[in-house]
Structure 1
Amino acid sequence: MNKLNVIENTIPVTTYRTLRVNSGLSPKTIAAAEIGLANSLYSVMIANEGNEVIGMGRIIGDGGCFCQIVDICVLPEYQGQGIGKLIMENLMNYINNELPESCYISLIADGDADKLYAKYGFKDTMPKSKGMALKK
């Protein structure tokens, strides 16, 4: 893998929307992306040597009691090359250095992504609690 650039706290709406779809995540409207990105606690993009953004991840929440890791994605042609780990390392640095000790950090793991998240201490919440979702 060539040199990668980590870009913090700035994900353009167009980049966000394109990267989500090209990575297999659900599309978001322009309005939703504008609101969501503006309310991120922390975000990171990974760009290759040609400045093409190839991955991203965000932390959302109230910054004290509850936060969630969202939008972790890597373009398919770059998957399996440690990009997801680089994204998680940056997110975990923020969590460990900026969030209170009692902050509850959650995420939803798609597919086999739970194996990556487990390396950073995330555990299945079942049977104590069960994740639920409402899609508008």
Structure 2
Amino acid sequence: MTVDESDAYVLRDELPDPETFAHLREVAGMGPRSLEAIERGLPNTIYGVIAVHEPSGEVIGMGRLVGDGGAVYQISDMAVHPDHQGKGLGTGIMDRLEAHLEAEAPAGAYVNLVADVDDFYERFGYEPVRPGSKGMHRRIE
């Protein structure tokens, strides 16, 4: 069996540069973030993963953990470029984030996320917080 080189990907334990981060959020249909916010936020990441299309060297996916590194973690900024979806890259990124949590997070740590897609995060054990809690947000203008 031959492998199509156009489908060669690698996952790396690192973060995208701010411009790539903004681009991936945009093409994945996620809300925009200012470059200032991205430049401030990325260095505070607990752990990040990128997916790279090896033939082109292009970063085409990402995900990261943010939080206090002990009691609370949030899975954030999960995105895969639409041209590369359906190849298991999102699952691979989540597998790495989950492995990091299992290795580093203390017992009782709370892990949350805001899901923009249905039926993806449930396979990793995530469930809606209602009725016990209510998710909320506020955006700074």
Give the alignment's TM-score, normalised by structure 2. 0.90
| 2:69 paired residue number | 63
Q: Does 1:25 align with 2:59?
A: no
| Structure 1: stretches of 5+ with no match in the other structure | none
SS in 1 for 2:120: helix
**Partner residue in 2 for 1:53:** 59
Q: CA RMSD in A?
A: 1.2
Q: Which amino acid aligns with 1:14?
A: E
2:122 to 118, 121, 135: 118
Letter in 2 for 1:52: E
| Superposed CA offset, 1:117-136 (max 9, x none) | 11111111110011000011
How many angstroms apart in 1 are the aligned matches of 2:12 and 2:23? 17
Of 126, 134, 137, which aligns to 1:133? 137
- Scaled by the length of structure 1, the TM-score of the pair is 0.93
- The equivalent of 2:13 in structure 1 is 8
User: Partners of 1:12 and 1:109 in 2: how far apart?
Assistant: 23
Report the number of matched residues: 134
Percent of counterpart pairs with the same letter?
37
Which residue number in structure 1 is paired with residue 82 of structure 2? Answer: 76
How far off its partner does 1:17 sit? 0.9
CA offsets 1:28-49 (integer angstroms, 9 cap, x no match): 1111001110100001110112
Q: Which consecutive aligned stretches of 4+ in structure 1 deviate over 4 angstroms post-superposition?
A: none
2:45 aligned with 1:40, yes or no? yes
Task: Describe how 1:65-104 pairs up with structure 2 within 5 A.
Answer: 65-104=71-110
Computing the radius of gyration from Cα coordinates, the structure with the larger value is: 2
Q: 2:102 & 2:14 partners in 1: Cα distance?
A: 17
Distance 1:103 1:111 in 2: 24
Q: Does the residue aligned with 2:78 lie in a helix, a strand or coil?
A: strand
Structure 2: where are the runs of 5+ without partners? Answer: none
